[in-house]
């Protein structure tokens, strides 16, 4: 029909313009939504970073910012008498900050925790393995360990420090401060945790200990100052001479020797190299360890739980043959003693491990220890203890131990 072309063209132009306007509105909305979400993420990230800086009395390291998410809020749980005065708590400080997880997740994506508490009587102290990585005075003891998580890994530091003027906030004062720190690591597993992450945990533990000591006014110089260089342990175990003690001849290697001197605990050990054959009942391994102060009770309780502490007057098997059953662990004889040393009441434990061959006959996997052989092992254990106690550079002398009393033996073999 004539004259219809122009209206149709006009309608097409209207539809086109309307479509372009709609597209522009949609694009604008999408852009606004993207910008809005980006701003929300930036605000969330900033809020989480502020939370990290304030949490746990500001004691968490800034390096944890790498774990702070921009899509979920951090979850903070903190308590303790030094965070909330007059609160009844075993801890001076106990604070956990975590990110992610929730719902059906087994654990958060990342978690940091610091805890400080006054030790009243006994505890299991950090391992004396040199893992702490920072110099400490001989009154302090620290160690670092690692662990796997579902995502990444974690690094933990423990630190036992001295507060000469005492800590308050418990039923009675204590001069022993125990700090534990758990931090996340981006390493794929515990064996790949870098040294920087381990040192970060150690530095955080020192920071917490110094903060608590300063706030409590409990005395002692700051650990971070590094004023007291650690005593060298090079000669701590030089007393352990296989030749002087008439142990199994051959090549010996050290076993768990202390890396530095600590007046809280010491450890020495030696073992015959596997390539060196030993005669029957020759001593092929020797160990000596001491625990002092609050570590003494914890160590004794730990061994008592396995029935590995002496029972007064129990020498029933010393005068008769004993059948020993092969169990997978080397049979050994332990000798215990107690003293008073620089850090307080102390337990000493020395062990001798004999070479024992088990039969292949009718009573497979057994051997018989005669009374004279048992007495021979007792003499070896006493010789090790005596030499350990009087060695000029050994732990007992360095720790000024006195009033030593022998407590008794423990035969750690399965009859």
- pLDDT tens digits for range 270-303: 999 877 777 888 999 999 999 999 999 889 998 9
Distance in angstroms (rounded) separating the CA atoms of residues 189 and 69: 21
CB atoms within 10 A of CB 62: 10
Please, are residues 142 and 202 in contact by the beta-carbon 8 Å criterion? yes
Distance in angstroms (rounded) separating the CA atoms of residues 199 and 178: 18
SS3 content of the chain, % helix, strand, coil (to 5): 30, 30, 40
Residue 29: band (very low, low, confident or very high) from pLDDT cuts 50, 70, 90? low
Q: What is the pLDDT of residue 142?
A: 93
Please, are residues 155 and 198 in contact by the beta-carbon 8 Å criterion? yes
Q: Exposed/middle/buried for 386, CB within 10 Å: 0-12, 13-18, 19+?
A: middle
Distance in angstroms (rounded) separating the CA atoms of residues 349 and 269: 12
Q: Tokens 């390539």, residue?
A: 275
Mean pLDDT of the chain: 84
Residue-wise pLDDT tens digits, 88-105: 778 899 999 999 876 566
Please, are residues 290 and 398 in contact by the beta-carbon 8 Å criterion? no
Percent of the chain with pLDDT over 90: 48
CB atoms within 10 A of CB 218: 21
Q: Tokens 């596997």, residue?
A: 274
Please, are residues 220 and 170 in contact by the beta-carbon 8 Å criterion? no
Average pLDDT for 183-188 = 92
N- to C-terminal Cα distance for the chain?
A: 116
Distance in angstroms (rounded) separating the CA atoms of residues 339 and 349: 11
* Most confident segment among 139-153, 299-313, 335-349: 335-349
Distance in angstroms (rounded) separating the CA atoms of residues 170 and 91: 9
pTM strictly above 0.95? no
Torsion-angle region of 149 (φ positive above 0: left; ψ -120 to 50: alpha; else: beta): beta
CB atoms within 10 A of CB 298: 16
Q: What is the pLDDT of residue 9?
A: 66
Q: What is the pLDDT of residue 360?
A: 57
Q: Tokens 């060695």, residue?
A: 391
Do the bridges between strand 283-292 and strand 344-354 make them parallel or antiparallel, or are there none, so unpaired?
antiparallel
Rg (CA), the chain: 32
Cα four-point dihedral sign 131, 133, 139, 145: negative
Q: Is the pLDDT of residue 107 over 90?
A: no
Q: Is the pLDDT of residue 375 over 80?
A: yes
Residue 34: band (very low, low, confident or very high) from pLDDT cuts 50, 70, 90? very low
CB atoms within 10 A of CB 83: 16
Q: What is the pLDDT of residue 33?
A: 47
The structure tokens listed for 192 are 């790949």
Q: Exposed/middle/buried for 231, CB within 10 Å: 0-12, 13-18, 19+?
A: middle
Could you tell me where the beta strands, DSSP code E, fall in 66-140? 75-79, 93-99, 110-119
């Amino acid at each position: 029909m004539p004259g219809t072309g122009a209206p149709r063209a006009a309608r097409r132009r209207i539809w086109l313009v309307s479509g372009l306007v709609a597209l522009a509105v949609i694009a604008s909305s999408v852009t606004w939504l993207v910008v809005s979400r980006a701003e929300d993420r930036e605000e969330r990230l900033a809020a989480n970073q502020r939370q990290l800086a304030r949490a746990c009395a500001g004691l968490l390291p800034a390096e944890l910012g790498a774990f702070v998410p921009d899509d979920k809020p951090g979850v903070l749980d903190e308590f303790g008498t030094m965070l909330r005065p007059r609160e009844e708590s075993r801890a001076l400080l106990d604070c956990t900050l975590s990110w992610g997880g929730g719902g059906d997740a087994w654990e958060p994506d990342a978690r940091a925790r610091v805890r400080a508490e006054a030790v009243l009587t006994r505890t299991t102290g950090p391992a004396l393995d040199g893992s702490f990585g920072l110099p400490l005075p001989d009154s302090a003891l620290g160690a670092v360990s690692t662990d796997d998580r579902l995502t990444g890994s974690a690094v933990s530091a423990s630190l036992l420090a001295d507060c000469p003027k005492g800590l308050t906030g418990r039923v009675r004062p204590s001069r022993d401060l125990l700090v534990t720190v758990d931090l996340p690591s981006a390493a794929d597993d515990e064996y790949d945790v870098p040294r920087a992450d381990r040192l970060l945990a150690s530095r955080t533990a020192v920071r917490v200990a110094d903060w608590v000591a300063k706030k409590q006014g409990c005395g002692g110089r700051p650990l971070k100052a590094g004023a007291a260089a650690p005593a060298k342990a090079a000669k701590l175990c030089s007393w352990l001479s296989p030749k002087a003690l008439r142990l199994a001849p051959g090549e010996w290697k050290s076993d768990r020797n202390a890396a530095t001197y600590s007046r809280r605990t010491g450890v020495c050990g030696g073992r015959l190299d596997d390539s060196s054959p030993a005669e029957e009942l020759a001593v092929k391994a020797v160990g000596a360890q001491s625990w002092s102060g609050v570590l003494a009770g914890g160590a004794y309780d730990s061994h008592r739980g396995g029935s590995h502490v002496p029972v007064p007057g129990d020498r029933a098997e010393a005068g008769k043959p004993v059948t020993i059953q092969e169990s997978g662990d080397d049979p050994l004889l332990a000798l215990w003693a107690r003293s008073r040393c620089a850090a307080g009441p102390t337990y000493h434990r020395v062990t001798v491990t004999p070479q024992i061959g088990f039969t292949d006959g009718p009573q497979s996997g057994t051997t018989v220890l005669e009374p004279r052989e048992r007495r021979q092992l007792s003499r070896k254990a006493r010789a090790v203890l005596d030499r350990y106690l009087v060695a000029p550079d050994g732990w007992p002398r360095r720790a000024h131990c006195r009033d030593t009393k022998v407590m008794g033996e423990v035969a750690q073999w399965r009859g």
